Amino acid sequence: MSLRFAHELGFALAMSLALLSVLLGGELPTELWGAMAAPWLAMLLRRHDLAASTPLGTVMALAAFVWGGLIAIEQGLDASLVAAAIALVGILVARLMTRRTPSHDLQALVLSLLLVFAGTVLHQQFTYGLVFVFYAVTVTWALVTRQLVEGAALEGWRRGDASFDQALARRDVVTPTFFAVTAGVAVVILLATSLLFVLFPRVGLGGLGLQGRNSGRLPTSVSLLGVPRAVQGGSQVVARLRGVSYRTFLQGLYLRGSIYDHLDAAGFSQSNTLGTLRPTRLALAPTREQARYEVYLQPVTDQVLLSLGPVVEAQVQSGGYANPSARARLIGVGPTGELLSMSPLTGPMRYSIFGGLAAPRATMVAEVLTPAPAVLDAALAAHFLALPDKVDPRIAPLAQQLAGSLPTLAGRAEALRKYLLTGFTYSLDQPNAGTADPLAAFLFDDRRGHCEYFATAFAVLLRAVGVPSRVVGGYQGGTWDAKGEVVVFTGANAHAWVEWYAPGVGWFVDDATPAADGATLSGMGALLERLRRVWDDEVVDYGLDQQLELLNGMVGSFQHASALSTDRLNWRPLAGGLGALLALVFGWYVSRHSEARPRARLAPFTRSLVAALERLAGAPLPPPLTLREAVQRLSASLPPSQVATLQAALAIYEARRFAPGGAVAPSSAAAADRQLMQALRRLRGVGAAPTIGAW
């Protein structure tokens, strides 16, 4: 492989991985994926010695700046890092397109490093770890080859000839040894990185939490025209539950989040007027099933901590901030029964809850005998029975027709749920996009839609028959991982359902969306999830607590080992093994640093000459001294006959050592060699032979 190709390939790979490190996070606009073509296009351009003009590059970079600036203005400070990353991607692409010299390559590599740093905030998933490892390998490769290319360029500039092109075309530089050395360097860097990661004390203040994550957050409204929340959420893990039995999982889990209580022409959204209502009338109804479970939650909500039902007791274990060593605090349970954090989440959080498991199955059992009240509390009715003026006039008669005559709330809810479950189909398509009233189109025309349609329709129909209702956003179902008995919720499990109110009892969870059965992880999916879990638990969530645990563990194991050694262990084999290891290391060191080492590789003839010289001088030949210099130094103090012998031997040695192509002694000269070697062996220090230190 030529040096040029090796450099270009490593460079393009490193650039692509740097771009992936931010793009895979899903925070940046999808249009930026186009930047992935830039490294390869730049490689193609470089192959033909082409580059975009500098003004074009400047325009590209400025456009990226403007784009990022507009996003920062539009979304506020929270998006500052996203804006910076967009600008950075733009500058990188501009640099890639306009690069001409190895210095430009270095600038691009530094920019790529900054992108990887940005990725630490914008992309905290397991894939970042993979990208990071490959980036470390390829950036090492690219940096080393760039250094060689720059040296060749410098030499070409000095000599002003075609040596640069010749150097780039060389195929003896990037050899398997080169790859082995580079890979070794990358591995050493990664090991050192891991060591530093594990050992560096997490004693930071955590004062400046970088904001960046926006994707996967629960929406603040139930949109009938936007992207379905199950699609919007993506495939990233948002929560993990431990402590829930498999039986409970099979019955269906509803991880409850935001409450959408206000209905207007645009659909359900969150209102600010809940404080005017008495909290007891907003809380969930008590459930028969209760459990203690642990939740690992990504920052998909501001302050609401997801739970499976009414919370009796809760405790934060760790997290909540970007700094995993910091721990968020709880305010308590909010008016609608949700658990609240004191500050908005900026990092993954781990907390445990003891409380009820609210799910549609419990609704029927507890509420079947509750009669529909003649008159509701006025404030409650005004808030939770309100229907906007522009609601389709066919909806109320339909609701009355389906459930208006039924005496109990549960009966009405059941009738309406059955209507939706049996007559409608679930679809992530948007058949009603562009229609003036998507809800009416769903109920009367298309009869298919996603969970937000089902939840909105169910809540509206309930209100139309006098049952107070609200829509709830969260995650439903999940997947079961038998190893560790963990329920995993991803963005694809995002769901919206309904809660309706029974006076004197509370709010019941109900769901008219055709539910997907809970799946069990297996095969590659399970492996991937376990890797993700290790990443989240051991890397993203690694903090001072884990470091102290590690330290305690080390100290403990040392103490344990000491106790074992004094009581039971036989020291002899251990000492023998240690001694053998030390002997091996010592032997390696001696062979490495011994003066005799180079001599072992000498040809017999040269060995005789070196031995004669050392014998005459009475001292070993120091490595920097050439044989010619040694002979010259000794000649002054030796008789002419000995000098002649040495000169003859030196002439043969030099002819063989420095002849073009490394000439080998012909077989006919073997006899002469032997005679000369015998003469060399006979040389003894006579007369004024130099002493030790003569060299």
Binding to another protein (CB under 8 A) within 564-623 occurs at: 598, 601, 623
Q: Which residues contact residue 142 at a Cβ distance below 8 angstroms, ignoring those fewer than 6 apart?
A: 7, 10, 11, 13, 14, 105, 109
Contact between 401 and another protein per CB under 8 A: no
Smallest gap from Cβ 613 to another protein, in A, equals: 17
Task: Candidates 58, 66, 159, 674: give the one binding another protein (CB under 8 A).
Answer: 159
Displacement of CA 420 from its chain's centroid (Å): 41
Q: Which region, judged by CB under 8 A, interacts with another protein, from 203-211, 214-222, 547-555, 637-645?
A: 203-211
Contact between 181 and another protein per CB under 8 A: yes
Displacement of CA 677 from its chain's centroid (Å): 67
Restricting to residues 413-442, which ones interact with another protein according to CB under 8 A? none
Three state DSSP letters for 405-452:
CCCEHHHHHHHHHHHHHHHCEECCCCCCCCCCCHHHHHHHHHCEECHH
Do residues 139 and 7 lie in contact, with contact meaning Cβ atoms separated by under 8 Å?
Answer: no
Report the C-alpha gap between 128 and 535 in whole angstroms.
10
Smallest gap from Cβ 77 to another protein, in A, equals: 15
327 torsion bin: left (phi>0), alpha (psi -120 to 50), beta (else):
beta
Residue 64: strand, helix, or coil? helix
Restricting to residues 640-659, which ones interact with another protein according to CB under 8 A? none
Beta carbon nearer to another protein, 318 or 456: 318
Task: Candidates 261, 338, 529, 541: give the one binding another protein (CB under 8 A).
Answer: 541
Helix (H) or strand (E) holding 358: none
Q: Which region, judged by CB under 8 A, interacts with another protein, from 118-126, 243-251, 405-413, 553-561?
A: 118-126
Structure tokens at 206: 């955590």
Beta carbon nearer to another protein, 33 or 157: 157
Task: Candidates 28, 487, 540, 679: give the one binding another protein (CB under 8 A).
Answer: 540
Contact between 148 and another protein per CB under 8 A: yes
Do residues 292 and 354 lie in contact, with contact meaning Cβ atoms separated by under 8 Å?
Answer: yes
Task: Candidates 188, 561, 590, 659: give the one binding another protein (CB under 8 A).
Answer: 188
Beta carbon nearer to another protein, 452 or 541: 541
Contact between 543 and another protein per CB under 8 A: yes
Beta pairing partners, 507: 284, 501
Smallest gap from Cβ 659 to another protein, in A, equals: 13
Beta pairing partners, 480: 487, 520
Task: Candidates 50, 53, 170, 578: give the one binding another protein (CB under 8 A).
Answer: 170
Task: Candidates 110, 548, 564, 582: give the one binding another protein (CB under 8 A).
Answer: 110
Smallest gap from Cβ 637 to another protein, in A, equals: 17
State the sign of the Cα–Cα–Cα–Cα dihedral 221, 225, 229, 232. negative
Contact between 140 and another protein per CB under 8 A: yes
- Long-range contacts at 622-629 (CB < 8 A, ≥ 24 apart): 622/695, 623/595, 623/598, 625/695, 627/653, 627/654, 628/654
Task: Candidates 29, 34, 69, 151: give the one binding another protein (CB under 8 A).
Answer: 151
Contact between 117 and another protein per CB under 8 A: yes
Of the candidates 290, 355, 308, which has an alpha carbon nearest to the alpha carbon of residue 489? Answer: 308
Beta pairing, strands 494-502 & 506-510: antiparallel
Task: Candidates 29, 204, 504, 514: give the one binding another protein (CB under 8 A).
Answer: 204
Contact between 534 and another protein per CB under 8 A: no
Task: Candidates 53, 58, 193, 552: give the one binding another protein (CB under 8 A).
Answer: 193
Contact between 77 and another protein per CB under 8 A: no
Q: Which region, judged by CB under 8 A, interacts with another protein, from 321-329, 513-521, 552-560, 568-576?
A: 321-329
Contact between 176 and another protein per CB under 8 A: no
Report the C-alpha gap between 292 and 252 in whole angstroms.
17
Runs of H (alpha helix) within 449-543: 451-464, 523-534
Q: Which region, judged by CB under 8 A, interacts with another protein, from 110-118, 236-244, 369-377, 438-446?
A: 110-118
Beta pairing partners, 495: 474
User: What helix, strand, coil percent values describe the chain, rounded to 5?
Assistant: 55, 15, 30
User: What are the φ and ψ backbone dihedral angles of 652, each rounded to 5 degrees?
Assistant: -65, -45
Contact between 5 and another protein per CB under 8 A: no
User: What are the φ and ψ backbone dihedral angles of 216, each rounded to 5 degrees?
Assistant: 80, -5
Contact between 197 and another protein per CB under 8 A: yes
Smallest gap from Cβ 115 to another protein, in A, equals: 10
Contact between 177 and another protein per CB under 8 A: yes
Restricting to residues 16-35, which ones interact with another protein according to CB under 8 A? none
Task: Candidates 2, 80, 120, 352: give the one binding another protein (CB under 8 A).
Answer: 120
Contact between 94 and another protein per CB under 8 A: no
Beta pairing partners, 239: 297, 489
Q: Which region, judged by CB under 8 A, interacts with another protein, from 193-201, 375-383, 473-481, 510-518?
A: 193-201
Cα 635 to Cα 217, 608, 641, 643, 677: the distances in Å are: 87, 17, 10, 6, 18
Beta carbon nearer to another protein, 208 or 671: 208
Beta carbon nearer to another protein, 124 or 287: 124
Contact between 323 and another protein per CB under 8 A: yes
Beta pairing partners, 341: 330
Contact between 205 and another protein per CB under 8 A: yes
Beta pairing partners, 229: none
CA angle 34, 39, 41 (to 5 degrees): 80
Contact between 661 and another protein per CB under 8 A: no
CB atoms within 10 A of CB 217: 18
